[in-house]
Amino acid sequence: MLIFSSAFPAIASSDAHDFFSAAVAWLSDCTSFNADELCTFFTQTEAKTQRGADSLHTLFCRTNGGEFAAIRHRHSSDTWQWITTAVFSTTHTQTAAGGAWVSVQQECEAQYPGAVPLALRHPHPLALGALLAAFGGATDGVLRVQSQPHLLDDTIDGIMQAAQLLCVSAQCSLPVMYVSTQTWGGYALDLSHLARSVAGIAHVVVEPSRDFSRHLQRHLRKISMHTSWREIPERGAIGIYWPGSTDNHALFHAWKYSNSAHFEQTVRDALIFSQLSCRLPCTWEQVREAVAQKIIKSLEKEKSDSSRFDDYAREFDHEITLREQKIAEAEKEIQRLRGELLRYEADADARNEAGPGALLKAGNERDFYPNEILCMLLDAIRDSERAQPQDSRRQHVLRAILQANELEHNPIKDRRERIKKILRGMRNLDASLQRELEEMGFSITGEGKHFKLLFQGDDRYVYTLPKSGSDWRGGKNAAGDISRLLF
């Protein structure tokens, strides 16, 4: 069972010697093989060896098109066999990416039917860390492969770069993990820890401030680069943007998780799980094929005893048989997942949820907070339902929609009550009240005798509030005006 898969571009000047040197650092720490033994294996076109619970299989081939090198390490226990495969190549199928590539995969196979692993949470293989230390720093689109977060500049250039990354026009081969600031500043998790945990798997890109987020939203709204621009992470949320399509992204909201560790683990697991199905630019099979072709050409020239050729052909046929078995298992899993997808789509149709058969398209507006647009639609439908003739077809249809979409929690009602509580009896907007308004999504600036309240960075929603009110009714009236404008 494949549990980890990733590939990252390496520095163009890298070669197989650098790859094997990094492998020595990795394998000498986690196996019983010493550095001298490993160096001996790595000088051969193909080598196999075993000691105790560990076995190694290495491949190396140099052709006119570049260099290929691969290592497969197996570690066996009574219950499970862990297989780590690392590959280096200076040529690959993704010709647009250019340069050298390194890939790492990890599998876990049961030694007997029904074996249950102690933990199969997505790992961060030791091989990946060693190879990143050797090959990190290569350019991937507009970013570099690194184990630190990329902090965007709080300038117009930074906004333009963020727009490129969110619109998938930055030519990055790795996914981009975009981290937004919280309403009151700061971030929902440890950025350095997050970047280290996904190094070599994704780029962690961090916006510098809430103002930056607001300017970015305005910029994307102005240029309307793609229909999914509204899916921008904000107020502490994290967005993952996979290369190739503007629709291929996912958002994770910090408020849904009990703590930052749970939040980070969920985002990381989703990222790694999504990478399992991605095609790698360099694989064990590609290196094995290159080695086989080189050996066959050598044997044809030698025209010597065919026993060596027969042995190699037998081993290669065995490898093909194993691969065909894995392909068959993967096809079964694909069929199972297709069945689940069909059941989900049928359930979605039956419940009139978003999916095939949905009644409405979302349009170009986005939620400022969870379920905002849905609540507004339900309020409008409720008002319309009350105005319809009793027992009319229109009344029945609207009532059915309301019943099918009833919410346990109404965020609009909560915000109306909260703005009333904040501004009730207000004579002046002190620091404590300003902070409460900022937590609701307002940015506040002082202009002369008034405060200017901007909601969610959207300049369509601005309210002017006196710095000092004449009586207690001023705050109540302001709360009513703001509720009518926004909620």
Asked whether residue 241 falls in the same domain as residue 177, the answer is yes
Range 428-431 contact pairs with CB under 8 angstroms and sequence separation of 24 or more: 428/467, 428/468, 428/469, 429/465, 429/467
Q: Of the ranges 125-129, 272-276, 288-292, which one carries the lowest mean pLDDT score?
A: 288-292
Work out the percent of the chain whose per-residue pLDDT is above 90: 22
Average pLDDT of 290-305? 70
If one compares 336 and 130, the residue with the highest pLDDT of the two is: 130
CATH, residue 179: 3.40.30
Q: What does the H/E/C string look like for the chain?
A: CEEEEEEEEECCCCCHHHHHHHHHHHHHHHCCCCHHHHHHHHCCCEEEEEECCEEEEEEEEEECCEEEEEEEEEEECCCEEEEEEEEEECCCCCCCCCCEEEEEEEEEEECCCCCCCCCCCCCCCHHHHHHHHHHCCCEECCEECCCCCEECCCCHHHHHHHHHHHCCCCCCCCCEEEECCCCCCCCCCCHHHHHHHCCCCCEEEECCCHHHHHHHHHHHHHHCCCCCCCCCCCCCCEEEECCCCCCCEEEECHHHCCCHHHHHHHHHHHHHHHHCCCCCCCCHHHHHHHHHHHHHHHHHHHCCCCHHHHHHHHHHHHHHHHHHHHHHHHHHHHHHHHHHHHHHHHHHHHHCCCCCCCCCCCCCCCCCCCCHHHHHHHHHHHHHHHHCCCCCHHHHHHHHHHHHCCCCCCHHHHHHHHHHHHHCCCCECCHHHHHHHHHCCEEEEEECCEEEEEECCCCCCEEEEECECCCCHHHHHHHHHHHHHHC
Q: Do both 384 and 481 map to the same domain?
A: no
Together in a domain, 385 and 439: no
Pair 99, 88 in one domain: yes
Task: Determine, yes or no, domain membership for 382.
Answer: yes
| 36 is a domain residue | yes
Q: Kindly state whether residue 11 falls inside one of the protein's structural domains.
A: yes
Mean pLDDT, residues 81-109 = 78
Backbone region of residue 33 per phi and psi (left: phi > 0; alpha: psi in -120 to 50; beta: other values): beta
Question: What's residue 97's pLDDT?
Answer: 44
Q: Examine the domain organization and report whether 243 and 193 are in the same domain.
A: yes
| Claim to verify: residue 147 and residue 93 sit in the same structural domain | no
> What average pLDDT does this structure show over 9-25?
87
41 and 132 housed in the same domain: yes
Distance of alpha carbon 245 from its chain centroid, rounded? 13
Tell whether 201 is covered by a domain: yes
At 74-88, the pLDDT tens digits run 988 877 888 999 999
User: With 70 as the cut, is the pLDDT of residue 242 above it?
Assistant: yes
pLDDT at 24 over 50: yes
Give the pLDDT mean for 57-80: 87
Angle formed at CA 438 by CA 227 and CA 204, multiple of 5 degrees: 50
- Higher pLDDT pick, 71 / 34: 71
Name the domain boundary from 136, 169, 195.
Answer: 136
For position 308, what pLDDT does the model report?
Answer: 63
Tens-place pLDDT, residues 402-443: 988 888 788 898 899 999 988 887 777 788 888 888 888 888
Predicted confidence at residue 117, as pLDDT, reads 52
Res 341: pLDDT? 65
- Domain closes at, from 195, 227, 256: 256
Among 57-61, 360-364, 409-413, 439-443, which is the least confidently predicted range?
360-364
Pairwise CA distance, residues 175 & 167, whole Å: 12
Q: Domain count of the chain?
A: 4
Is 167 in contact with 216 (CB distance < 8 Å)?
A: no
Name the residue with higher pLDDT: 123 or 286. Answer: 286
Q: What is the pLDDT of residue 12?
A: 80
Q: How confident is the model at residue 98 (pLDDT cuts 50, 70, 90)?
A: low
Residue 297 within any structural domain of the chain: no
Q: What pLDDT, in 10s, does the model give residues 449-484?
A: 888 888 887 778 888 888 776 666 778 888 899 999
Residue 343 has a pLDDT of: 55
For residue 96, the model assigns a pLDDT of 42
The pTM assigned to this predicted structure is: 0.67
99 and 7 within one domain = yes
Structural domain includes residue 344: no
On whether both 68 and 82 belong to a single domain, the answer is yes
Q: At 392, is the pLDDT very low, low, confident or very high (cuts 50, 70, 90)?
A: very high
Residues 111 and 11 in one domain: yes
Domain enclosing residue 212, as ranges: 139-256
Same domain, 206 and 234: yes
Domain boundary (194, 221, 256) is at 256
**334: Cβ contacts below 8 Å, ≥ 6 apart:** none
- Assess whether pLDDT exceeds 60 at residue 357: no
Average pLDDT, stretch 106-120? 65
Q: Which residues of 131-161 are buried (b: 16+ CB within 10 A; e: fewer)?
A: bbebbbebebbebebbbebbebeeeeebbeb
* Same domain, residue pair 131 and 165: no
In a domain? residue 121: yes
In a domain, 482, yes or no: yes
pLDDT greater than 60 at residue 355: no
